[in-house]
Amino acid sequence: MKNTQFLLAARPEGEPKKTDWECVEVDVPAAQDGEVVVKVHYISLDPAMRGWMNEGKSYIEPVQIGAVMRAGAVGEVIESKTPDFSVGDHVYGHCGVQKYYVGSPKAVGFHKVDPNIAPLERYLGVLGMPGMTAYFGLLETGLPKEGETVVVSGAAGAVGGVVGQIAKIKGCRVVGIAGGADKCKYLVDELGFDDAIDYKGEDIHQGLKRTCAKGVDVYFDNVGGDILDAVLTRINMRARIVVCGAISQYNNTTAVKGPSNYLSLLINRARMEGIVVFDNAANYGKAAVEMAGWIAEGKLKAKEHIVEGIETFPETLMMLFKGENFGKLVIKV
Amino acid sequence: MKNTQFLLAARPEGEPKKTDWECVEVDVPAAQDGEVVVKVHYISLDPAMRGWMNEGKSYIEPVQIGAVMRAGAVGEVIESKTPDFSVGDHVYGHCGVQKYYVGSPKAVGFHKVDPNIAPLERYLGVLGMPGMTAYFGLLETGLPKEGETVVVSGAAGAVGGVVGQIAKIKGCRVVGIAGGADKCKYLVDELGFDDAIDYKGEDIHQGLKRTCAKGVDVYFDNVGGDILDAVLTRINMRARIVVCGAISQYNNTTAVKGPSNYLSLLINRARMEGIVVFDNAANYGKAAVEMAGWIAEGKLKAKEHIVEGIETFPETLMMLFKGENFGKLVIKV
């Protein structure tokens, strides 16, 4: 049985290029004691992966040169030498960008998922890390109150769409920022956002003025750069800015653009705070129950953007940075 | 009786120039009903004054062109047409840059101060707004815990010196950043800081590495710019950055330098939060009692930098931006 793996061949400067990857075919070894073999069905593509390719201190170890690229994935156990998992179990974990994961379940954080409750790919989106990121980031750091205005960037992405819907559930006015009229229409018509700003079609300052007459109380930032700076000029007293990501800056070859308007935090006694979803691992279960309830009630919708074929990985990853994905981006292996 | 007043003649571009001020001599009018006449003894010079000279939304109204420049001051009531204040009372309030204030006590927030407890100028420093800024900013936003490392910039200034001393009282390791070997020696030898970084004599990155081996838990920022960016590279998990000011940026003619390393907030789940002292007005009394206790015990020391003569105002103000003051900068009228 042959495995296809994408190895990190070089640390990218700026945008990851094809030559930063090496695609190899190797035999799938048998599981050793304590190990499993998992056939990967869906691989998650996330902006955070760009950071994992860099050297240096971060919230997680960088991927080593020559190692299989780290990625969340869902798959099926096809061989098991541990009592914790049985053949036929479906699991989520950091399987990496490959067709088969062989190794310890613990090393990649496997936990079981149930394909009878939701399609497998959903465990990479609203029922997975992006959903958890949205849930904890918004509720525990954004602290939205009923009647407040919540703005979210990357709103048609995996995290942003969930942030906006949860903010609606909590009684907020919700404005999404996304690139393209179709995405904005989707936010309002399908996800129930109150309004949306197409940053590719409208000046962002003008858009914020148009949609946030009462200012911004919570800003959930997935993009950084000019959009963060623009929102900083519209925040209200004691606003909360959740720093979840900065996809506009991840491929910079020059320094990250710091928010020039950060002194608005002073004027408005506001706060900017970073989040990393893994900190909430102990409470994922509770969150999943609540979100499953919202899904069942039709209050929380999910959308995956599925691209077929692991061989598309280098190009598919770039869709994230070009803003080409529409919903949670996954590769069907 | 003649009054000398400094009026704002023009909104400065960059550093305030002499021509941005108009110095006028006018007669001191008699007090009307409800008004007082106060002879100003000491005028406070604060970095925040630079912001008050700009047009546009801030936490306080800009000073209007042609108006007396706003400034905190202490003085003595020499005429009173209100039962709230008597001739001979000493008061603190926003008297402005002038020899006599004539008007309503309420309009400038007068409250009585006692020259028998402390010299009058001290009510502009450790017993005044800078002291309150340090107290509430550090304790309520910085949230220092015993054993943590607290770094403060502008450490030899009116706010910074108090921040560091309170952090010591709370059992923290305290590192001050200041410009010049004499200031750094003063921080360690006189104020009891654990260490100091002379940013004019030592690379700031190197200095932080040298003095903060265990990283930075609380950073109280008075300066912004490159120093903020450097500290961001050294913060610990769940660090708190108190944004009190950004004196390095106030005279910019180009955009403020945003902190390029702000994504360190994400990596470290850290927080950056702005403060404005006026929000704590209801609790000034309680803070003053506690700080007076520390002063009595010798745990909290004060230093004023007194310049004589109101006519020196334009040049004296610039000392703040050149880092030439050593302790709380005041003009003795």
Residue range B140-159: average pLDDT? Answer: 97
Q: Which two tokens stand for residue A94?
A: 């950091």
Chain A residue whose CA is closest to B272: A272
The SS3 of residue A158 is helix
Residue B57 in this model has a pLDDT that exceeds 80: no
In chain A, what residues touch B257 (CB-CB under 8 Å)? 258, 260
The answer to whether A249 faces chain B, any CB pair under 8 Å, is yes
- Give the pLDDT of residue A100: 98
B292: pLDDT strictly greater than 90:
no
pTM listed for this prediction = 0.91
Size of interface A-B (CB pairs under 8 A): 109
| Residue among A21, A25, A27, A28 nearest A7 (CA) | A21
Q: Which residues contact A169 (CB under 8 A, 6 or more apart)?
A: A294, A299, A300
Kindly state the tokens that stand for A59. 């919230």
- A243 in B contact zone (CB under 8 Å): yes
- In 3D, which of A50, A46, A52 has the Cα closest to residue A16? A50
Residue-wise pLDDT for B175-218, tens only, equals 999 999 999 999 999 999 999 999 999 999 999 999 999 999 99
Res B304 pLDDT > 80: yes
Residue B56, pLDDT score: 81
Structure-token pair, residue B210: 């040298």
Count CA atoms within 13 Å of residue B209 on its CB side.
5
First to last CA, chain A: 15
User: How near does any CA of chain B get to the CA of A282, in Å?
Assistant: 17
Cα separations in angstroms, A331 against A46, A92, A99, A124, B178: 11, 14, 11, 11, 53
pLDDT value for B228: 97
- Say which amino acid occupies A229: D
Find the closest chain B residue to A265 by CA distance. Answer: B274
Would you call A267 an interface residue with chain B, using a CB distance cutoff of 8 Å? Answer: yes
Q: Would you state the pLDDT for residue A288?
A: 87
Percent of chain B's residues with pLDDT above 90? 86
Q: pLDDT digits over B100-113, tens only? A: 999 999 999 898 99
Q: From first to last of the 333 residues of chain A, give the pLDDT tens digit.
A: 999 999 999 999 999 999 999 999 999 999 999 999 999 999 999 999 999 999 987 788 999 999 999 999 999 999 999 999 999 999 999 999 999 999 999 999 898 999 988 899 999 999 999 999 999 999 999 999 999 999 999 999 999 999 999 999 999 999 999 999 999 999 999 999 999 999 999 999 999 999 999 999 999 999 999 999 999 999 999 999 999 999 888 888 888 889 999 999 999 999 999 999 989 988 988 898 899 899 989 999 988 999 999 999 999 999 999 989 888 999 999
Q: State yes or no: pLDDT of B297 exceeds 90.
A: yes
Contact A249 B263 (CB under 8 A): yes
pLDDT at B236 over 80: yes
Q: Is A59 on the interface with B (CB under 8 A)?
A: yes
- What is the model's pLDDT at position A12? 94
The tokens of B315 are what? 């040049």
Cα gap B194→B176, rounded to integer Å: 8
Q: B58 pLDDT band (50/70/90 cuts)?
A: confident
Structure confidence by residue, pLDDT tens digits, A98-107: 999 999 999 9
Find the residue in B nearest to A137 (Cα).
B269
Q: What is the pLDDT of residue A59?
A: 82
Over residues B5-49, the pLDDT tens digits come to 999 999 999 999 999 999 999 999 999 999 999 999 999 999 999
User: Which residues on chain B are in Cβ contact (under 8 Å) with A253?
Assistant: none
pLDDT per residue over B134-149, tens digit each?
999 999 999 999 999 9
d(CA B27, CA B29): 6
Closest residue in A to B52 (Cα–Cα): A267
pLDDT tens digits for range B245-277: 998 888 888 888 899 999 999 999 999 999 999
Q: What average pLDDT does chain B have?
A: 95
pLDDT digits (tens, 9 = 90+) for B242-251: 999 998 888 8
pLDDT 10s digits, B63-84: 999 999 999 999 999 999 999 9
Judge whether A244 is closer than 8 Å to chain B, CB to CB.
yes
Smallest Cβ–Cβ distance between A266 and the set B57, B266, B274 belongs to: B274
Gap between the Cα atoms of B276 and B140, Å rounded: 12
Partners of residue A57 in chain B, C-beta under 8 Å: 267
DSSP result, A72-118: -EEEEEEEESSTT--TT-EEEE---SBSEEEE-TGGGT-EE--TTTS
